[in-house]
């Protein structure tokens, strides 16, 4: 990855988005499954790059060989390149839960205003029941890059925002 005339490039005139995407694909740490039952298969769909003003959207496609009897709750975190939690969300027992039926279920994570500084990030996801038993747990997954697509003047990269984003988890 190189800088030419203030733009990210690969040295061969590659577009910044394509260069960043190639870099992220080649520079990933291995996805680490902490808990992954045999009956559950989880696929993650997402973009690899987001403009710093753009909402984040990540989709979990869950293929279960059996129905999970208990109500399921999600916990997820956005982690920066230094393995620091920069955003953490845990579903509330009182009014939020998911049902995982046999077959495919889709869960969309949408974060309208993540207020992330430019840089590299990954996600941690885990599912648990009311008894706090972990059903599924994966770390270092769904890598993405926040960049300044529109070249808008912004604050220094080391400044972090404490704005509380609007988070939505939607099961379909």
Reported as a single tens digit per residue, the pLDDT across 45-57 is 989 899 888 899 9
Q: What is the pLDDT of residue 8?
A: 62
What's the pLDDT at 69?
82
Handedness of CA 54, 93, 127, 138 (dihedral sign): positive
Question: The tokens of 42 are what?
Answer: 């989880």
Contact 16, 5 (CB under 8 A): no
- For the chain, where do the domains classified as CATH 2.70.50.60 start and end? 31-171
Give the pLDDT of residue 162.
43
The pLDDT of residue 17 is: 66
* CA proximity to 147, closest of 4, 7, 28: 7
pLDDT exceeds 80 at position 20: no
pTM of the model: 0.69
Q: DSSP assignment, residue 72? A: B
Instruction: Name the CA dihedral angle for 6, 9, 13, 16, rounded to a multiple of 10 degrees.
Output: -90
Alpha helices in the chain (DSSP H): 16-26
Evaluate if residue 29 carries a pLDDT over 80: no
Task: Give CATH for domain 31-171.
Answer: 2.70.50.60
Lowest-pLDDT range of 14-28, 47-61, 121-135: 14-28
Q: Quick check: 154 pLDDT over 50? A: yes
CA proximity to 27, closest of 81, 78, 76: 81
In the 8-state DSSP scheme, what is residue 94? T
């Amino acid at each position: 990855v190189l800088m030419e005339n203030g733009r990210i490039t690969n040295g061969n005139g590659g577009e910044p988005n394509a260069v960043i995407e190639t870099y992220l694909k080649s520079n990933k740490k291995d996805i680490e499954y902490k808990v992954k039952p045999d009956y559950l298969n989880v696929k993650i769909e997402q973009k690899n790059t987001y403009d710093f003003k753009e909402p984040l959207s990540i989709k979990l496609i869950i293929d279960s060989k059996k129905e999970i009897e208990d109500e399921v709750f999600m916990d997820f975190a956005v982690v920066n390149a230094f393995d620091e939690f920069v955003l953490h969300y845990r579903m509330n027992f009182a009014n939020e839960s998911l049902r995982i039926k046999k077959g495919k279920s889709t869960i969309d994570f949408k974060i309208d205003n993540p207020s992330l500084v430019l840089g590299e990030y990954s996600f941690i996801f885990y599912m648990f029941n009311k008894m706090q038993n972990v059903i599924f747990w994966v770390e270092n997954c769904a890598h993405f890059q926040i960049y300044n697509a529109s070249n808008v003047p912004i604050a220094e990269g080391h400044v972090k925002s404490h704005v509380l984003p609007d988070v939505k988890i939607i099961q379909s």
